[in-house]
Amino acid sequence: MLGICQIVPGPNIVNLAVCVGSRFAGVAGAFAAVLGLTLGPVALVILLGVLYEHYSYMPIVQGLLRGISAVGVGLIASTGFKMMRTELKYPPMLAVIILTVLAASYFHLGLGWVVLLTSPLAFLLAWKRVKG
């Protein structure tokens, strides 16, 4: 279940909350789980946003956030690389990854176009992998 929630589109944690919540109490459970997981962090992050408005002029705050964002990008990249382990077991699938990266980063296609363009190849290769 966890796996499915990580690959379907949308915020992972919200998807997971919908899955788990709906197991326990259907639609109401899904709502409760999603609200329970998001309300606290949303309130906190708004508070941080207010603090940011007041203190973002300070060089220390700017430096702090520059450092954190550089690390944050690295963490996202490593999530991607770690997810790639499944793909490495079937190297042809790397073509989908390369095509996606090229379409998005080099040709700057919109997100919807990238998905439309690459999903036929992804499904074809996935089908071949499962068949073979």
Partner 1 sequence: MISTLLSLFLKLSAFSVVAFGGINAILPALYDLSVNQEHWINSQTFGDYFAIAQAAPGPNLMTVTLIGWNVGGVLGAAVATLAIAWPSSIMIYFLQRTILNMQDKKKQLIIQYAAGALAVGLVLAAAWGIAVQINHSLAAHLLTIGTIAVTFFTRWHPLYLIIIGGVLGVLGFI
Write out the binding residues for partner 1, residues 17-36 only, by CB under 8 A: 18-19, 22, 27, 30, 34
Q: How far is CA 108 from CA 71, 79, 92, 105, 125, in A?
A: 24, 22, 24, 5, 24
CB of 23 to partner 1, least distance (A): 9
Q: Encoding tokens for residue 57?
A: 């002029």
6 near partner 1, rule: CB under 8 A = yes
Q: How far is CA 65 from CA 24, 55, 70, 129, in A?
A: 40, 12, 8, 43
129 near partner 1, rule: CB under 8 A = yes
**Under 8 Å between Cβ of 30 and 21:** yes
Q: Binding partner 1 by CB under 8 A: which of 25, 36, 37, 91?
A: 37
Looking only at residues 68 through 97 of this chain, which bind partner 1 when binding is defined by CB under 8 A? 68-84, 86-87, 90, 93, 96-97
Q: How many chain residues interact with partner 1 (CB under 8 A)?
A: 85
Q: Binding partner 1 by CB under 8 A: which of 2, 12, 28, 36?
A: 12
Query: Per-residue b/e over 75-91, b at no fewer than 16 CB within 10 Å?
Result: eeeeeeeeeeeebeeee
Looking only at residues 46 through 65 of this chain, which bind partner 1 when binding is defined by CB under 8 A? 46, 48-49, 52, 56, 59-60, 62-65
